Amino acid sequence: MTPPCPLHTLPVGRCGTILSIDAPAELAARMRALGLQPGRRIKVIRRSPFQGPIQVRAGQTDLMIRRAEAAIIQMQPCPEVECV
Amino acid sequence: MSKRIALVGMPNTGKSTLFNRLTGAGAKVGNWPGLTVELLSAKLLLGDGMVELVDLPGLHNLHGFSEDERVARRFVETQPLNGILVVLNTTQLERQLALVLQMKSLGLPMFLALNMADEAKHRGIRVRTEHLEAQLGMPVRLISAKHGQGVPELKQALTAWLREHPQTTHASAIALTEDDVIEDTLNDILSDSLHIPICLSPTRTDRVDQWLLHPWLGIPLFLLIMLAVFQVVYGIGAPLQEGLGWLLDEVKTLWLAPLVAGLPAWASSFLLEGLYDGVGTVMSFLPIIVAFFLAMAVVEDSGYLARAAFLMDALMARLGLDGRAFVMQLMGFGCNVPAMMGTRVMRGRAQRIAAMMMIPFSLCSARLQVFLFFTTAVFSPRAAPWVLFSLYVMSFLLAFLTAWLMRGRTRHALDPLLMELPPYRIPTLAALARQAFRESGHFLSQAGGFIILGVALVWFLTHVPLDVPPASPATLAGQIAAWIEPVFTPLGIDQLLSIALLFGFVAKEVVIGALAVIYGAGGDELSGLLAQRLDWIQAYSFMLFTLIYTPCLSTLATLRSESGSDRVMWASLAWSLGAAWLLSFAFYQTARALFG
């Protein structure tokens, strides 16, 4: 099994399950409202150039998130054959 | 007592579309006790009674993370309501339903409208509304606010619902239900009422994004799109502005001039050149504002604005801003006024203020006129384009410098850029027209009075005392120019030019006209005179000062009304004037020392 890694290191096209989010209560609430919470399966769609934000797909919603915020989300990468 | 419903929903749910669909044209912005922002509300006829529908800012939850969320929460907690109409995006029900569960703890009657039902159906998402109604304990209706499907039925259902809740009630001020509890309930409800296909095929949006968000092509395409938007706005707006100016001039010479002919000379001059031209200045901005907001509504409603923010965020985040600020800065190159109004898409106040402080440095089309005239008059045809280019570079540098200086404030409050990238949607014409109409009305009512006051003041300065030629050294303006001469001499700007700068404070469009009055010569003759009187160092110093010192009265008025703060306006003015003086001084003295 692949070891856990933070979201901003997950390669484009890979999916994973959120293990934990180390955010203050308010930010966590906002992430939750947008579909980012432990247990959810999300997929990295693309990265913006020059260390810009990352586009992720959580269920039916596409989101952008800065690398700094992505770094506090711990992911369990899933085996590559699954579809999200 | 009239009935009142609050309209609540997350961003990108089509909440405003539903509001417009339900209420039609009669919406108005208004203040509410205890709230710092204005809210849109309108009356609509439901059954046999009028009901007031209040459009609350979009919110993700009731925790009050953003200013919008605090406003919305405060409203539902303090205002007596008959109920809350919640709008959710059906395609994202699996995450948005949590908001409904959270709001239930307010204890107010609720009604749920599931919007974008057509889009959901297209994606194979099915909702069993009867199940959902039973589990949530509130009426649920599927609608498409954009195309109007299900809206008549929604109105009927709302009428019946209001009959059950004839009295307004206050929300109970109990603590919000724990998010984890909500999560469990949510999963139970969803597994029963919602069907989502497991594998979704790539959508049209995915295919478009492969190009528009391409790692290498994304940013060039963004700049091309902005250029196109720009061309359309000024291609449509500028001729209309010119036409309107011509029309106002005709009205002045044909009707108004004879009308005031009987008055004393100073009075007719004040009415025509002071007030009428002042109102004309305000009016002439309207076509560009309307065109701008049409274009911006297309960029925003289509979903591209979020993409632009995605592409430009890397650069702007380093300056403590998000990518949307860059879009507005570019729009400012046409006209600062609508660009400043456009910063409303930014949520955090610190970011918005910083963006509004940057925009005045965008070299707008009015300043471009002045520079084109000066560069052709004073510089050789080979040097002129480079001079102009250097002014654009200065414009960018100053805007970024402003953001950089404010980064302490903005970075600390930098909103975590958690934004949805909505699927591309084609905006409806009706929504676009409504938006443009509303914004122009807003501009007229907010900035109009302030501009008229300023124009009257400049008239007063350049026409008093009444027995000397206007704008001559003997007028108040001339005396001020003489008095501040020591300030401008180190910049190489003489008294006559500094009077022109006074006019330029009102609007850059009148600078050349003012110079014509001051030098008593127009057109080519004026070019010749300027070339004779000014060397290139003086001319460039004057242009540098004109670029930076202040955009115009309309921009300042807009800055004041949009920020809601006199302090912000004065700070911007002081910073612009200071920077203009310092840079012109540095340039003039260095150039003199080097080139003599």
Spell out the domain ranges in chain B. 3-195, 218-362+395-446, 447-595
Nearest to B417 among A50, A51, A64 (CB): A64
Per-residue pLDDT, A83: 47
| Chain A interface test: which of B73, B101, B418 (most A C-beta within 10 Å) | B418
Cβ-Cβ contacts under 8 Å between A and B: the total is: 113
φ, ψ of residue B83 in degrees (nearest 5)? 170, 175
* pLDDT at site B8: 94
For residue A82, being part of any structural domain is answered with no
Using an 8 Å CB-CB cutoff, list chain B residues near A53: 310, 313-314, 417
Closest CA to B75 of B103, B97, B47, B117: B103
Domain with A56 in it: what CATH number?
Answer: 2.30.30.90
Paired strand residues for B419: A64
CB atoms within 10 A of CB B141: 20
Alpha carbon distances (Å) from B557 to B221, B413, B452: 34, 26, 11
Taking Cα atoms as reference points, which of B100, B108, B99, B120 lies closest to residue B77?
B108
Pairing mode of beta strands A61-65, B419-420: antiparallel
**How many CB atoms within 10 Å of residue B441?**
12
DSSP-derived letter for residue B255 is I
Are the CB atoms for B376 and B384 separated by under 8 Å? Answer: yes
Contact B418 A59 (CB under 8 A): no
User: Which pairing describes strands A61-65 and A73-77: parallel, antiparallel, or unpaired?
Assistant: unpaired
Chain B partners within 8 Å of A51 (Cβ): 314
- Taking CA atoms, what residue in A is nearest to B316? A52
Residue B35 pLDDT = 61
The answer to whether position A39 is within a domain reads yes
C-alpha to C-alpha distance for B162 and B165, rounded to whole angstroms: 5
User: Which DSSP string corresponds to B169-228?
Assistant: BPPP-PPPPPHHHHHHHHHHHHHHHEE--SSPPP-HHHHHHHHHT-TTTHHHHHHHHHHH
Contact check, Cβ <8 Å, B95/A34: yes
pLDDT at B1: 60
Cβ within 8 Å, pair B213-A46? yes
pLDDT value at residue B405: 92
- For residue B182, which residues of chain A lie inside 8 Å, CB to CB? none
Q: Does A25 fall in a domain?
A: yes
State the smallest CA–CA distance between residue A67 and chain B in angstroms: 10
Mutate to test the interface with B, among A36, A50, A55, A82 (most CBs of B within 10 A): A50
What domain count does chain A have?
Answer: 1
CATH 3.90.1150.10 fits B3-195, yes or no: no
Closest A-chain CA to B215 = A49
Whether residue B8 contacts residue B87, with contact meaning beta carbons closer than 8 Å, is answered with yes
List CB contacts of B433: < 8 A, sequence separation 6 or more. B294
Which residues of chain B does A83 touch, with a Cβ-Cβ cutoff of 8 Å?
A: 198-199
In a domain, A53, yes or no: yes
- Smallest CA-to-CA distance from B242 within B274, B287, B293 is with B287
Instruction: Select from B63, B98, B417 the Cβ nearest to the Cβ of A65.
Output: B417
Assign A84 a pLDDT band (cuts: 50, 70, 90).
very low
Given an 8 Å threshold on Cβ–Cβ distance, is B61 in contact with A33? yes
Q: What is the pLDDT, as a whole number, of residue A49?
A: 83
Q: Which two tokens stand for residue B294?
A: 């049409």
Structural contact between residues B182 and B98, judged by C-beta atoms closer than 8 angstroms: yes
* B194-218 confidence digits (pLDDT tens): 887 765 666 789 999 999 999 999 9
Beta-ladder partners of A41: A17
Picking from B158, B208, B214, B149, the residue whose alpha carbon sits closest to that of residue B14 is: B149
Residue A84 lies in a domain: no
What pLDDT does B199 receive? 57
Indicate whether A22 belongs to any domain: yes
**pLDDT score for B36:** 60
Tell me which chain B residues have a C-beta less than 8 angstroms from the C-beta of A66.
Answer: 313, 317, 416-417
**Contacts of residue B568, Cβ cutoff 8 Å, sequence gap at least 6:** B353, B356, B357, B559, B560
Taking only the tens place, the pLDDT of each residue in B563-579 is 989 999 999 999 999 99
Q: Is residue A63 part of a domain?
A: yes
Q: Are B558 and B443 in contact (CB under 8 A)?
A: yes
Measured between alpha carbons, how far is B276 from B500 in angstroms, rounded to an integer?
20
Q: Which residue has the higher pLDDT, A56 or B430?
A: A56
Q: Which residues of chain B have pLDDT under 70?
A: 1, 25-37, 64-65, 173-177, 198-202, 282, 413-414, 446
- Residue A44 placed within a domain: yes
Best residue of A50, A60, A69, A82 to probe chain B, by most B CBs closer than 10 Å: A60
Contact residues, chain B to chain A, C-beta under 8 Å: 10, 60-61, 63, 65-66, 91-92, 94-95, 98-99, 123, 125, 179, 183, 196, 198-200, 209, 213, 215-216, 218-219, 306, 309-315, 317, 416-423
Q: Which two tokens stand for residue B216?
A: 């290498």
Are B61 and A53 an interchain contact pair (Cβ–Cβ within 8 Å)? no
Q: Report how far apart, in Å, the C-alpha atoms of B395 and of each of A68, B364, B553 are.
A: 30, 10, 19
Q: Judging by DSSP bridges, how do beta strands B28-30 and B39-46 pair with one another?
A: antiparallel
- State the smallest CA–CA distance between residue A20 and chain B in angstroms: 14
Range of the domain at A19: 5-77
